[in-house]
């Protein structure tokens, strides 16, 4: 288990991390996500030991890495680090890269290297290649194999897929996830991509301005985020000010069930997939909105809907089945299905 307590780190005026505490359970795949400058990479570097925090303690599986007793240097932490573009050593072959952390005289070195290459989906013939002869995806695979070779207690991944093409990114993500699970190695991955974060994490940490904005299982964070910014960061969010009376929120899009005590004014989160759209001709229930744009998505239309007259502050997008023939300018009826989330720190 990785445990950070009260970690602070600043660079001059810029706060990299302020009083961050977080716990990554053993064997978990933790993802730290946040916009650039949120301090997520700082956190990773502090865990790796490349930099020392100004305050706080870091421990891994009960072993203190940084704290009052001093700091364990990075080369003694046994924490693997996979950099953004792999950071392969260009002057070494793929085999030497992967074998870098192994003892030089290890008899089974060549065999181990081949095994690791196979594990990350590369043929053994790649051993003799040079890093510059590899594609971006292959480089990342080698970097992963190299990190696995040291049998780390924890693996840190710093935006490992960001330089890859979209299609490749997903495949790599799946592969990395599988390999880590098989090897039983806990990991902390840093990304700015919320989709990637949701897909990879079993424990998600959202950072903003050097602070942990929210942390927990990804599904919980998506559905019941701690605040509006987190909600917006993790996906499209329609935030509706409303009054809550008897477990029902009175919103501009109609009454929506919520789990919350009565309050005069609260912000309610509605995800677009909860919004039900009907042609005006087919329904007289719900708020009235106007279609501003539509774009074709194959299985769906994505509609941009203006409901400002009905009291929704900003236009929002909703996907509807392709069969629904609604054109820009058409008026539609809007309602909300399922339970909505009330932000805990809603203005009162």
Partner 1 sequence: MAVSVDLGATKAAKNARSLGSSGHPLILGAAALTGLLSLLPLGFVVYIAATSGWGTIADLVFRPKVGGLLVNTLMLLVLVLPLSVLLAVALAWLIERTDIPFAKFWSWMVIAPLALPAFVHSYAWNAFMPRFHGLGAAVLVSILAYLPFLYLPVAAQLRRLDPAQEETAQSMGKRPIEVFFLVVLPQLRLAILGGALLIGLHLLAEYGLFVLTRFDTFATAIVDQFQSVYSGPSANLLGGVLVLLCLGLLGLENLVRGSERYARVGAGAARRRGRVALGRWRCPALLLPLIFAALSLAVPVLTLGRWLWSGGAEIWRFDFILPALGQTAVLALAGAVLTTLAAVPMAWLAVRAPGRVQRTLEACHSYVGALPGVIIALALVTITVQVALPLYQTLATLIFAYVLMFLPRALVGLRTSIAQAPVELERAAASLGRPPVSAIWHTTIRLAAPGAMASAALVALGITTELTGTLMLAPNGTRTLAMRFWSYTSELDFASAAPYALLMIVLSIPLVIMLHMQSDRVEQA
Residues of this chain that interact with partner 1 (CB under 8 A) are 45, 48-51, 73-91, 100-101, 131-132, 134, 136, 139, 143, 146-147, 150, 156, 158, 163
Terminal-residue alpha carbon distance, the chain: 39
Q: Which is nearer to partner 1, 18 or 41 (CB)?
A: 41
Q: Which is nearer to partner 1, 98 or 275 (CB)?
A: 98
Question: What is the C-alpha to C-alpha distance for residues 306 and 291, in angstroms, rounded to an integer?
Answer: 6
Cβ 163 to partner 1, closest distance in Å?
Answer: 6
DSSP 254-296: EEEEBSS--EEEEEEEE-GGGEEEEETTT---SEEEEEEEEEE
Cβ 116 to partner 1, closest distance in Å?
Answer: 13
Cβ 85 to partner 1, closest distance in Å?
Answer: 4
Mapping DSSP to helix (H, G, I), strand (E, B) and coil, where does residue 239 land?
Answer: strand
Q: Which is nearer to partner 1, 141 or 224 (CB)?
A: 141
Q: Which is nearer to partner 1, 150 or 283 (CB)?
A: 150
Cβ 133 to partner 1, closest distance in Å?
Answer: 10
Question: What is the C-alpha to C-alpha distance for residues 92 and 147, in angstroms, rounded to an integer?
Answer: 16
Structure tokens at 54: 């100004």
Q: How far is CA 157 from the centre of its chain?
A: 12
For residue 42, give the nearest of 212, 187, 197, 234 by alpha carbon. Answer: 212
Q: Is residue 122 within 8 Å of residue 142, measured between CB atoms?
A: yes
Q: How far is CA 274 from the centre of its chain?
A: 22
Q: Which is nearer to partner 1, 146 or 260 (CB)?
A: 146
Q: Which is nearer to partner 1, 50 or 125 (CB)?
A: 50
């Amino acid at each position: 288990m990785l445990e950070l307590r009260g970690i602070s780190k600043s660079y001059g005026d810029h706060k990299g991390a302020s009083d961050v505490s977080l716990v990554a359970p053993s064997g978990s795949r933790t993802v730290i996500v946040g916009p650039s400058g949120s301090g997520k990479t700082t956190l990773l570097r502090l865990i790796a030991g490349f930099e020392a925090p100004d305050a706080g303690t870091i421990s891994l599986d009960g072993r203190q890495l940084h704290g009052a007793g001093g700091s364990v240097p990075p080369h003694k932490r046994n924490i693997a680090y996979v950099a953004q573009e792999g950071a392969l050593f260009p002057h070494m072959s793929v085999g030497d890269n992967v074998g870098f952390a192994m003892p030089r005289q290890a008899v089974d070195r060549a065999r181990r290297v081949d095994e690791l290459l196979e594990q990350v989906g590369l043929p053994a013939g790649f051993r003799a290649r040079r890093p510059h002869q590899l594609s971006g995806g292959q480089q990342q695979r080698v970097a992963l194999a190299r990190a696995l070779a040291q049998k780390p207690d924890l693996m840190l991944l710093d935006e490992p897929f960001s330089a890859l093409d979209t299609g490749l990114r997903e495949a790599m993500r799946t592969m990395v996830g599988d390999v880590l699970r098989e090897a039983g190695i806990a990991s902390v991955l840093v990304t700015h991509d919320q989709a990637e974060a949701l897909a990879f994490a079993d424990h998600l940490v959202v950072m903003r301005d050097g602070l942990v904005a929210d942390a927990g299982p990804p599904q919980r964070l998506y559905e019941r985020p701690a605040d509006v910014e987190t909600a917006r960061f993790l996906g499209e969010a329609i935030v509706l000010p409303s009054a809550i009376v008897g477990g029902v929120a009175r919103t501009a899009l109609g009454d929506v069930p919520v789990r919350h005590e009565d309050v005069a004014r609260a912000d309610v989160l509605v995800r677009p997939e909860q919004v039900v759209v009907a042609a005006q001709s087919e329904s007289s229930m719900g708020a009235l909105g106007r279609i501003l744009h539509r774009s074709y998505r194959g299985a769906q239309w994505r509609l941009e809907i203006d409901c400002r007259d009905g009291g929704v502050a900003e236009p929002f997008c909703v996907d509807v089945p392709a069969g629904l023939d609604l054109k820009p300018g058409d008026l539609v009826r809007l309602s909300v299905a399922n339970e909505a989330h009330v932000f805990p720190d809603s203005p009162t």
